[in-house]
A and B are shown apart, each in its own frame.
Chain A
Amino acid sequence: MHDPVPPDMDGRIRQAFLLGLSRQPVTPPPQLPGLLPPGSQPALALLALTGQRQRFAGPPQKTPDPVPDAARILHQDPRPILPPAARHALRRLAGSSARSEAGGVMPLALHRVRAAGCRLHPFDLPELACHIEANVESQGIAERAWLALVASDADDEVRKGLLFDPITAENWTAFPKAQRRRFVTDVRRNDPAAGRALVEGVWKTEAAAVRAALLEALAVGLGRDDKPFLDRLATDRAHTVKEIAGRLLGRIATAEDLEQRIAAAARCFTRRGGAAGRMMAALGIAGRGTLSFALPERLTSQDQQADRERLFGGLPLDRLAAAVGATPAELVVALPEDEHQVRALLLEQAVAADHPATMHAIAAARLIAIRQVSGPAIKLLATESRLAVDPDVAARFLAGPAWREAVSASSAEDMTEGESFAFAATLMPREAMPAFLASLAALPSGAVRAARDFADLVLALPA
């Protein structure tokens, strides 16, 4: 059928509709009224024709952008995508951990995914973005490319920094703060002077938060050569920077009498059983719980935090353990639950020294020593170690009284234990997961859903 409205009239009709027919009446084309049923309003017919013409014409064309670099990099990541079963378990875990307030489990789950050599399914990236963002420095290139892809235009530097892999001395300034700190730490392990030079080179142009982070990295490989640089920071405009510099200087000042410091710190540990206990320790048959810890009595409440720093800050853990006649793991286990600062200082040295075996041993010893599987203790252990323990350690833990008490039906009535079970799952190696799942059998599914989902994820990951 021929269109009764000439093309040149279409624009005038549309304008009349927008302005109002009372202001701009429109005369229908002469052939239109004859096509309408008697009594019809031409204006309505014109409206119908205009509307339909628009619908058939469609919206104006847009010019597509070239594919962003971030999108290309995301899909070119050579790592295999998470297998379907693992993917589903991870998605379930994201839901169940949020509902059970065990949200801290997700970073540990992503850690396992990466350790298995897999990358997240691209379609899950939007939903998991908050967890990726919280731990960007430990994410793979595809995940970081996603963050770069959705970063706003104002975050151009962040976007560029996220995409390069690996970080080098040439491109390190483009990376986010956490990755830069880690880079400096890594360089300091092998060449403290080179690490310090990196920091000095960008010092004047960086914001306070970045300066503070980079300064923390100088804790690794700290030595007298760092003193001139740190001395200059006493007048830094940022309080946090001055504080960190002061702390590091304190460690340097006391490094010369390292042996005396080690001896002083070692005196905080006492082998119960006197000489017999020490002999047993020397023979390697010291039992659990024979080592005890107590700070010197002279410490006052105002001094305690600073004195802990002076006693334990920067001490090589293996040398301290040797002085005590114990293993590094025994030292950490001997600490009371509320000795968070000392434990953090000792773990910091294990992490800084990048001794996975030590960190493993510490995690294992702490897990076995746990007397009650309560939320804070197990959560702290899981988030600090970020490692699964060895299978034999896991087996001992699952057979131990603390776990058996935790999973007994009577104690499981308290639904808040859900967080504990979830974090316990994060410490289990793949080999222990079937036994771990079996130990949860009697518990209400709501209390252990996140734990089960984590276990399912681990079991579904490539071995």
Chain B
Amino acid sequence: MPAVAGCTEVKRFNSTRIRGKIRKTGQGKVSLTRERIESLAPDQASLSAALKLLKPAAWPVLAESADAGMLWGECQGSGATPYRVVVALQDVAYKCTCPSRKFPCKHVLAVLWLHADKPERFETASPPSWVDAWSVRRRPAGGPPGRPRPHDGAPTAALSLAAAIAAGSAAAQSVDPKAAARAEAQRQRLKADREGAVLAGLDELERWILDQLSQGLAGFAKRSESAVRTLSTRLVDAKAGGLAARLDRLTDEVFRVGEGERADLVIERLAAMTLIASAYRHQDRLPPPLREDVRRAAGWSVRREDLLADVTAPRVTATWIVAANLSEVQPDKLRRLETWLVNAASGQAMPVQDGPGHTPRAAVLVDFVPVSGSHGVAFPFEPGECLEGEVVFYPSAAPLRGLLTTTKPAAAAPWPRSPRGLGPALDEFARRLGALPWLDVWPLMMDGVAIRTAGQPALVVTDDTGYTMPLARGQAQALMPMVGLDDLSLLCLWDGRAAQVIAADTAVGRWHRG
């Protein structure tokens, strides 16, 4: 990639810290030199990775402040949500929401590289709120707080943008059709092997469930950890990681409910696994969306590129309200990050059912990061933020999880209206459960409800008819301020036993979890 013509060194900068490190482009903007960018990179692999991010499709948002002191962008990574990058050029401070433990990450390097070589791609704009928030709170030294800089700023001879470009070109030219065919055949063999392994894993699962039924589920909680451990490992070996994860979660779930509810919970969870196993065996008889559901439930994943290329995948372009950010550490030591979106245009006038011609009211974007490096990982969007974008939903009998492909900030939107009371929301859950029998949770939106105590410390959602829906334990303290408020609009995750409120629109303002 050639340097932009017309760039000249600016001799009038006499700061020793930045002498020779910045330059002025022909357009009068300021950017770092290539040498400076190379000196920032932690290793050559980062520069090579940054090279792959220079294509326009990777950056739906690239902008700089009017004084060119701040650069920011949104990069479509492999995750469900774009990574947000911001750089302050004056002292080369930066921040990226990706979970990489390299500093600076490939996204930051890519932004700097793009700005050095293609400054015209950066739109001049007022910094959005997330850029301002970082700028106000950042420390003047570059890099994330508390982390040592990978270099002291001195150029490292081994790191070179030119070398990264050369390596990229060589890789692009080395495609061998025969090798590609062999690789594809190998992929098909591996896939067939995995199908066999999964089916064998399902056999083992069903034998195990029958054994639990034989012993009796009343005592399952006591023996759960030992009962689950071996089978979970075998399911992972059988490449049925989705089912292994369900089993692992069960050992935690049984102790989150009261003793009187445990047996029923175990019945429901084992029933769901039974349904998955049966459906998987007969997946060729299932409608395509449900077939996709059961394969994902077993543990098959869909690559981002494949989903985006799937013409049958539902796509919704709308104004989305970021309702909540949820984070949970899974038994497999991955942190699951969920960003819940609500379609601001959905409302009472719209049909509540999904399907051809109907528009989903909510979406969840899911990412996974290793636990060990995840404590500083930031969600890309703040609850309450509005954005315009396209969500591509994974094909499903009950579409909910998706990928965000394009985004731009949107003006604040009113909370969408929903049918009043619990009845319509619970009816919707029943429809979803009927369509997807092993459904874990479903987002319910309801207006005209209230939160009340039902024997301290239990809380319930109730409506004008007096019908109640229990709320999850652990939310009592956070939701208690809503007791006494009427006519709430709630967004809850309902699993059929307890609701988890993740957003509320009330007379005193909005509440968002996370």
Whether A and B are associated in the same complex: the answer reads yes
Contacts of B497 in A (CB 8 A): 58-59
**B477 part of interface (Cβ distance < 8 Å):** yes
**Given A18-B263, A23-B216, A59-B497, CB of A51 within 8 Å of CB of B509:** no
- Among A21, A50, A150, contact of B271 (Cβ-Cβ < 8 Å): A50
A43 within 8 Å of B (CB atoms)? yes
> In the complex, how many residues of chain A place their beta carbon closer than 8 angstroms to a beta carbon of chain B?
50
Contact partner of B213 among A17, A58, A75, A444, CB < 8 A? A17
A47 on interface, CB distance cutoff 8 Å? yes
Expressed in whole angstroms, the minimum distance between the Cβ of A97 and any Cβ of chain B is 15
Within 8 Å by CB of B264, from A54, A56, A149, lies: A54
Query: What does the 1/0 interface line of B187-226 toward A look like (CB < 8 Å)?
Result: 0000000000000000000100110011111100000000
Docked-complex contact A123 and B509, CB < 8 angstroms: yes
In the complex, which residues of chain A have a beta carbon less than 8 angstroms from the beta carbon of B483?
Answer: 67-68, 71, 149
B94 at the interface (CB under 8 A from A): no
In the bound complex, residues from chain B placing their C-beta under 8 Å from that of A146 are 481
B360 at the interface (CB under 8 A from A): no
Query: Which residue of chain B has the shortest Cβ distance to A24 in the bound complex?
Result: B216
Nearest B residue to A146, CB-CB: B481
A14 within 8 Å of B by Cβ? yes
Q: Which residue of chain A has its CB nearest to the CB of B264?
A: A54
Interface centre among B268, B481, B511 (most CB of A within 10 A): B481
CB atoms of B268 and A54 under 8 A apart = yes
B274 touches A150 (CB 8 A): no
Identify which of B137, B467, B481, B511 contacts A449 (C-beta below 8 A): B137
Closest to B470 in A: A59
Q: Assuming the A-B contacts A64-B452, A65-B452, A75-B485, are A17 and B509 also in contact, with contact meaning beta carbons closer than 8 angstroms in the complex?
A: no
Q: Is the CB of B216 within 8 A of A65?
A: no
- Contact of B455 (CB < 8 Å), options: A14, A51, A54, A62: A62
The main secondary structure of chain A at its interface with chain B is helix
Q: Is the CB of B271 within 8 A of A51?
A: yes
Contact for A18 among B214, B217, B274, CB less than 8 A: B217
Interface presence of B66 (CB below 8 A): no
Q: Are B433 and A19 in contact (CB under 8 A)?
A: no
User: In the assembly, what is the distance between CA of A369 and CA of B344, in Å?
Assistant: 58
Q: Distance (Å) between the CB of A94 and the closest chain B CB?
A: 15
Assess whether B508 is in contact with A121, with CB atoms less than 8 Å apart: yes
**B125 at the binding interface (Cβ < 8 Å):** no
Is there contact, CB below 8 Å, between B509 and A47?
no
Is B373 located at the chain interface by the 8 A CB criterion? no
Q: Report if A67-B214 is in contact (Cβ < 8 Å); known contacts: A54-B264, A56-B433.
A: no
Contact call A48/B278, Cβ cutoff below 8 A: yes
**B163 within 8 A of partner (CB):** no
- Taken residue by residue from 41 to 71, chain A's Cβ proximity to chain B (1 for < 8 Å, 0 otherwise) reads as 1011101111110111011011111011001
Cβ–Cβ < 8 Å partners of A59 in chain B: 470, 496-498
Most buried by A among B216, B455, B485: B216
Residue among A81, A125, A445 with the most chain B CB within 10 A?
A445
A22 to chain B: closest residue by CB:
B214
- Of B213, B482, B497, chain A has the most CB atoms within 10 Å of the CB of B213
Q: Are B496's CB and A50's CB within 8 A?
A: no
Closest to A60 in B: B470
Q: Are B480 and A150 in touch, CB under 8 angstroms?
A: yes
Chain B positions within 8 Å of A462 at CB level: none
Given contacts A43-B210, A59-B498, A444-B140, contact A75 B216 (CB under 8 A): no
Provide 19 A-B residue pairs closer than 8 Å at the C-beta atoms, listed in order of the A residue.
A19-B216, A22-B214, A43-B210, A47-B270, A48-B278, A51-B267, A52-B433, A55-B433, A55-B496, A63-B468, A64-B454, A64-B466, A72-B484, A123-B508, A126-B478, A126-B481, A446-B139, A446-B145, A449-B137
Where the two chains meet, the residues of A that have a C-beta atom closer than 8 Å to any C-beta of B are 14, 17-23, 37, 40-41, 43-45, 47-52, 54-56, 58-59, 61-65, 67-68, 71-72, 74-75, 81, 121-123, 125-126, 146, 149-150, 153, 444-446, 449
